[in-house]
Chain A
Amino acid sequence: MKKKISIIFLVPAAVILLLVVFYPLVYAFWLSLSSYYLGRSPTQFVGLANFVRTIRSEGLLHALRVTVYIAAPAVALELLIGLGIALLLDKINVGRKVFFTFLFLPFTITPVVAGLILRWMFMSRWGMVNYFLSILHVEGPFWFAFPMSALLAVLLGNIWQYTPFVILVLFAGLQTIPVEMIEAARMDGARGFAMLRYIIAPSLKPHIFFVLIMRTMDVFRLFDEVFAMTGGGPGTSTETLAIYNYRLAFKMSRIGEGAAVSVWTLIFLSGIIAVYLYFSYRN
């Protein structure tokens, strides 16, 4: 028996989503087509001028580069490390929950606080990272003084904070692989890498795909941690798309151009997601 459920159940959520998500979205697209400067009126329709101006500016392309420099290694490394830890957790029986709690905490704490903590960790003279490096007889750099090391610090911080998410999803995925399948493969002599390559990886495909998409989307929104950690500096060398967008709209008061940059960000991200989808459906 399939009964029809009254559509009234949907109404409260629909009203809220229309009001809070849909309406601002339409307004934002309209703003991206108009010249709107805070404190200066009236608003004028300018067509695609904001889009042309922002894509030609060095700021947007630079921010895109920074975001990709962080996103590509972050997503790849988080996936690899996360898979490794999920496999390790799968092997142990005693104390799994306790380890889980500690491994999971960085993901749940307030991102902006995580950024502050990381800032202290990477501080050149008093930071713990350089202290541990000095124990290994390595002289740590002045992390936030140079573009490359600042980017590396942001990347390492991102890995610290978000690998737990990957661990959780992949660990849940590992639990869905039937034990018989593993046993059968072992009978056939599959060990170590062969097991990973031919049994585990194919079974985890939907989970890996989910993690890839989620993490990529999130890095394109990356703001809080970097804002608290480096503020986009030194100079603009760690200025992600979100930080650039914030600066353009709220520090430089160019609202129309800011909205255009948001739309550009959406376009870039859609392109990347389209590539993911292409590869996932081709197989």
Chain B
Amino acid sequence: MAKLQVLRSYIVYCVILILAFISFFPILHIILVSVKEPVDAFAMPPRWIFVPIFRYHFHIWMKTDFPRYFINSMIISLVTVGISVPVASLASYYLARYESRRTRIVLFALLAIRAFPWMLFIIPFFIITRYLGLYDTLAVMILIMVGFNQPLAIWLMRGFIREVPFELEESAIIDGCSQFGVFWRIILPTVLPGLAATSIFVFLLAYNNFLFALILTGTQAKTLPVAVAEYGAEQIQYWSISAAGACGIIAPIVLIMLFLQRYFVKGLVAGAIK
């Protein structure tokens, strides 16, 4: 019986190992391609032992506009986090503590925005930004990203704030704390992990966005995803450069996942249950 148990857990581990490998392999492959010469990168059968070269990484960071797009992407994502997380925290404090039919409708409406096709927003934005002369600016991208992250950010923050015991607030009110004082001194410090989770989410959503940037930016405010999609995938000599670009764009994400995964997972779980 015990032997059977051991055997079974071996099988479970093997299956998970294989699945994790399948999941990770495509990403590993792109990393390997970026440090091989194109001839080696697509040799069949694949060469697993080789001397890594970093020429293509060097090339995209030093000799192309890649750093500029990287900075654009970073500015958009970080400023989006800086605006949308505080705004969403304020709103979610109200929505978490003041439950009524009306707040439930607001929350449901926020969720329903996810069902709307992106084009329904992008088409009017395209016309409006052209008309106002705001096409291809970072400001417009930030404004849009802030707007479209609100529903998720509010839902997540509301979930975290709801878990803060009400007694904490009560004692602060008795001590004469103002409403904003309660929010600032009691609520926010208590939900710091929640703030971290929400920030990571908002960052990733803004950083990974492709469609808005594809249509609403030209040369000035172009972001990384748009730039990488434009790299030639047709000619084999460019593949290593494309792969290096892909590595450059996913590097921050992988770093976030490695170091802050805890918060990220917690946030998704909280968002999923409520």
A interface with B by C-beta (< 8 Å)? 1, 3-7, 9-10, 12-14, 16-17, 19-21, 23-25, 27-28, 31, 36, 85, 88-89, 91-92, 97, 99-106, 108-113, 115-121, 125-126, 128, 131, 160, 164-165, 168-169, 172-173, 176, 207, 210, 214, 217, 220-221, 223-224, 227-228, 241-242, 245-246, 249-250, 255, 258-259, 261-263, 265-266, 269-270, 273
Q: Which of A9, A89, A128, A262 contacts B90 (CB 8 A)?
A: A9
* Known contacts A92-B13, A104-B261, A105-B23: A110-B117 contact under CB 8 Å: no
Q: A255 contacts B127, CB within 8 Å?
A: yes
The 26 listed contacts between A and B (C-beta, < 8 Å) are A9-B179, A12-B91, A13-B90, A20-B146, A20-B148, A24-B128, A99-B16, A101-B257, A101-B258, A105-B254, A110-B224, A110-B228, A116-B30, A120-B29, A120-B33, A120-B233, A121-B26, A160-B26, A210-B272, A221-B117, A242-B117, A245-B119, A249-B119, A259-B119, A263-B120, A270-B115
Q: A5 contacts B117, CB within 8 Å?
A: no
Contacts across chains A and B counted by CB atoms under 8 Å:
254
Q: B261 contacts A101, CB within 8 Å?
A: yes
Given contacts A36-B127, A121-B26, A169-B269, 18 further A-B contacts (CB under 8 A): A9-B90, A9-B93, A16-B143, A20-B144, A85-B16, A91-B9, A92-B16, A108-B253, A108-B257, A108-B264, A109-B208, A109-B253, A115-B229, A116-B30, A119-B233, A168-B272, A172-B268, A246-B215
Determine whether B54 belongs to the interface, using a CB cutoff of 8 Å to chain A.
no
Q: B228 contacts A116, CB within 8 Å?
A: yes
B interface with A by C-beta (< 8 Å)? 9, 12-13, 15-17, 19-27, 29-30, 33, 42, 44-46, 87-88, 90-91, 93-95, 97-98, 113-121, 123-128, 143-144, 146-148, 150, 154, 170, 173, 179, 183, 204, 207-208, 210-211, 215, 224-226, 228-229, 233, 239, 242-243, 246, 249-250, 253-254, 256-258, 261, 264-265, 268-269, 272-273
How far, in whole Å, are A131 and B211 apart by their CA atoms in the complex?
A: 32
Q: A105 contacts B257, CB within 8 Å?
A: yes
How far, in whole Å, are A117 and B46 apart by their CA atoms in the complex?
A: 16
Q: A106 contacts B23, CB within 8 Å?
A: yes
Chain B's closest residue to A170 (CB) is B272
Inter-chain contacts of A85 with B (CB < 8 A): 16, 19
How far, in whole Å, are A21 and B128 apart by their CA atoms in the complex?
A: 13
Shortest Cβ distance from residue B227 to the other chain A in the assembled complex, whole angstroms: 10
Inter-chain contacts of A227 with B (CB < 8 A): 210, 229
Q: B24 contacts A102, CB within 8 Å?
A: yes
* Known contacts A103-B23, A109-B253, A110-B210: A269-B272 contact under CB 8 Å: no
Q: Which of A1, A259, A266 contacts B123 (CB 8 A)?
A: A259
Chain B's closest residue to A123 (CB) is B42
Inter-chain contacts of B120 with A (CB < 8 A): 24-25, 28, 259, 262-263, 265-266
Shortest Cβ distance from residue B168 to the other chain A in the assembled complex, whole angstroms: 13
Inter-chain contacts of A91 with B (CB < 8 A): 9, 12
Inter-chain contacts of A108 with B (CB < 8 A): 204, 253, 256-257, 264
How far, in whole Å, are A25 and B243 apart by their CA atoms in the complex?
A: 38
Q: B26 contacts A117, CB within 8 Å?
A: yes
The listed residue with most B CB atoms (<10 A of its CB), out of A20, A31, A220, is: A20
Q: A112 contacts B26, CB within 8 Å?
A: no
